[in-house]
Amino acid sequence: MSHDEEMFREALVGKKIPILTLDNQWHKLFTQTGDNAEIHRLEEQVNDLLKRQGKVNTEIKSLNIYKKQLMNEIVSIMEIPDSPAKEKKMMENKQEIEATNRKLEEYNDELLDLPKQIDDANFNLMLATMQVCYKKIKQNVKNIEEINKWIADFRVKLKHQILTKQKMEIYNDEMYSYMHAIFGPDVIEMFDMKYNPTNVLNKNKDVIKEGGAQT
């Protein structure tokens, strides 16, 4: 037994575990974790035992009805005159009742054992479920840590790139303003094709143009 399985077993001691294959939340859980052969095998085992329990209950109910019919027939037969046919029918019904009682006893014995078999199978399914989920959680934690590191590294690089971009924009604005002041708007128009100033420093260019238009 692995350390994890022993740990899970201890955690489940005394806990009331619902029948997992009848639990909608359990089925939703395994739409997230994906297919698992061991889970499917244990799931089928639980379902087979549940089906068997349902079938045994149905058989017991049917046998009790049949037994009641046989007994009613015996009561009816007792009211008719004695005859070889009467004796034969009475004997047949008594034999059928005895056979029915034996089957009922077998089914009732099985019915007493089935709840424990179902609990054991369900417990094993719960253990397998915990192992699958624990493994998936551990893998997700590892992936999350890797992603967090990637995000942290990216933020540092992004911050650096933003600062570099801002420095370049400031440099361009300062150079544009300087050249605009020296050469004037006519000469500087040749740069407008390649550089479209957007920062606050470049708003002076628009002010100069508007002032020239008014004069």
Instruction: State mean pLDDT over 197-213.
Output: 46
User: Could you tell me the pTM of the whole model?
Assistant: 0.67
CA distance 193 to 206: 16
Question: Tokens 């489940």 label which residue?
Answer: 12
Which is more confidently placed, 34 or 87? 87
Backbone phi, psi, residue 13, to 5°:
-60, 125
CA distance 4 to 10: 10
Residues in the chain: 215
In one-letter notation, the amino acid at residue 33 is T
Quote the CA–CA distance of 152 and 205 in Å, as a whole number. 40
Which whole number is the average pLDDT over 142-166? 95
Burial (CB < 10 A; 0-12, 13-18, 19+), residue 63, is middle
pLDDT, tens digit (0-9, with 9 covering 90-100), for 14-25: 667 889 999 998
Cα–Cα distance measured from residue 185 to residue 208, given in angstroms and rounded to the nearest whole number: 8
Ordered by start, the domain boundaries in the chain are: 3-152, 160-214
The single-letter code of the amino acid at 24 is N
Q: Which two tokens stand for residue 162?
A: 């933003």
User: pLDDT tens across 100-149, in order?
Assistant: 999 999 999 999 999 999 999 999 998 888 888 888 899 999 999 999 99
pLDDT for residue 213? 45
Residues 27-72 pLDDT 10s: 888 776 667 888 999 999 999 999 999 999 999 999 999 999 999 9
Angle at 186 between CA 180 and CA 187, to 5 degrees: 65
